[in-house]
Amino acid sequence: MKIIISFSILLYFNLAAVSQQKISIVSKPANILIEQGENNQYINFDFLITNNTQDTLTLSKVSVSVVDKNNKLIHSRFLDNNGTAPSIILIPNRKFNGPSSHLIFNPFADFNSTMPLWKLIYEWTFYDNKDNEIKVNTVISPKKYEQKEIFKFPLKGKIFVYDAHDLYAHHRRFDYEFAPIKEIGLSANFMRYAYDFIILDNSNNQFKNEGKKDEDYFGFGATVYSIAQGKVIYASNTHKDDKQFDIPGIAKNPLELYGNCIAVQHADNSVSIYAHLKQNSIKVKKGDTVQSQQEIGKIGVSGSSFLPHLHFEIRTNILANAEGIPSYFSNIYLLEGNTKTKLKSGLAETGNIIEAN
């Protein structure tokens, strides 16, 4: 009996090793952070999956199992190809034709706020062109993000969180393995934890008239404030408010994407970015020290903007390899009808109307 068990274990590990040789799966970024919301916690990261064979491999199932420190299962969920509208279709890049790589956005991003995310085991099931099953496991051990600085919100008044960085947000779904992006030189998701904020009036309207002109938006020209003390390491003030940007120029300066933009480095070395600002509205220059809640610019539509709003993010640096970092604000409230509630987590989430003072 002992011989049989030992042989079975050996066979299992041999098969696992072979599978790993055929398919390599790496988490991006390497350090995965747990972001704390009001009711949920989130893990925002990607998988780089590489087919090391000449075969065509098709992803048919991915599952995640959350285990405690004793490796006891406490939660599990999956996407697979069962059903008339298979849930696996939520992952668009499922077919690997010969040696190739795809960036897969982690499909299991949110968990109950009380669940201990000590270790997550992802199991990937592939089939080759001979219908042979190949399974690969990836173990993730995320760490809770602890913000060292106290951040104040960069706007005042009533704000609509137009797009943040949840599973469906465009900030999160930035494929830096996509050839045109990779050719520019971008190698990480600098806007992984970014926001788009729109100013509202007292009736929760974004604009007056028909909103066809930039000036119709209540946020156009609204004041932008520094979230904390820091040093200005970049400031661009001359781009027109024309929703245009220089794509080739991003290779030399990744912040070209954002038009008029300010980058402030804080005491913990994190960098706050204030983007799509109004032409000639920036009140600081590179080398200046700014204080928390200091007026630094105004909302515009420069760079890759689509309407007057503030694009805001925290990141590691202003280079092509910058990674996004979470951010929490100490002075924001959730507005739901006539109810106003202080957000203890300090996290602004997509679709919510918030207020900052």
Per-residue pLDDT of the chain (357 residues; tens, 9 = 90+): 444 444 444 444 444 555 668 999 999 999 999 999 999 999 999 999 999 999 999 999 999 999 999 999 999 999 999 999 999 999 999 999 999 999 999 999 999 999 999 999 999 999 999 999 999 999 999 999 999 999 999 999 999 999 999 999 999 999 999 999 999 999 999 999 999 999 999 999 999 999 999 999 999 999 999 999 999 999 999 999 999 999 889 999 999 999 999 999 999 999 999 999 999 999 999 999 999 999 999 999 999 999 999 999 999 999 999 999 999 999 999 999 999 999 999 999 999 999 998
Rounded Cα distance between 262 and 285, Å, is: 9
Chain center to CA of 53: 31
Rounded Cα distance between 208 and 200, Å, is: 10
φ/ψ of 258, rounded to 5, equals -95, 5
Tell me, what's the pLDDT at 19? 63
Tell me, what's the pLDDT at 127? 97
Contact 184, 252 (CB under 8 A): no
| Residues with Cβ within 8 Å of residue 142, at least 6 apart in sequence | 32, 33, 34, 43, 45, 117, 120
Give me the sign of the Cα torsion angle 246, 251, 252, 253.
positive
Count of all residues that appear for the chain in the document? 357
Tell me, what's the pLDDT at 18? 55
Rounded Cα distance between 258 and 194, Å, is: 12
Burial class (CB in 10 A: 0-12, 13-18, 19+), 83: exposed
Tell me, what's the pLDDT at 13? 43
Rounded Cα distance between 22 and 52, Å, is: 5
Tell me, what's the pLDDT at 3? 42
Q: Which two tokens stand for residue 233?
A: 């390491």
Rounded Cα distance between 225 and 299, Å, is: 10
Stretch(es) of the chain classified as CATH 2.60.40: 2-144
Q: What is the radius of gyration, based on Cα positions, of the chain?
A: 23
Rounded Cα distance between 289 and 214, Å, is: 31
3-state secondary structure the chain: CHHHHHHHHHHHHHHHHHHHHHEEEEEECCCCEEEECCCEEEECCEEEEEECCCCEEEEEEEEEEEECCCCCEEEEEEEECCCCCCHHHHCCCCEEECCEEEEEECCCCEEECCCCCCEEEEEEEEECCCCCEEEEEEEECCEECCCCCCECCCCCEEEEEEECCCCCCCCCCCCCCCHHHHHHCCCCCCCCCCEEEEECCCCCCCECCCCCCHHHECCCCCEEECCCCEEEEEEECCCCCCCCCCCHHHHCCHHHHHCEEEEEECCCCCEEEEEEECCCCCCCCCCCEECCCCEEEEECCCCCCCCCCEEEEEECCCCCCCCEECCCECCEEEEECCEEEECCCCCCCCCCEEEEC
Tell me, what's the pLDDT at 21? 85
Residue with tokens 């969920």: 77
Q: 0.85 exceeded by the pTM?
A: yes
Tell me, what's the pLDDT at 34? 98
What fold, for 2-144? Immunoglobulin-like (2.60.40)
Stretch(es) of the chain classified as CATH 2.70.70.10: 157-356
Tell me, what's the pLDDT at 122? 98
Closest CA to 102 of 139, 62, 143: 62
What fold, for 157-356? Glucose Permease (Domain IIA) (2.70.70)
Contact 123, 80 (CB under 8 A): no
Contact 224, 271 (CB under 8 A): no
Please report how many Cα atoms fall inside a 13 Å half-sphere around the Cα of residue 251, on the Cβ side: 8
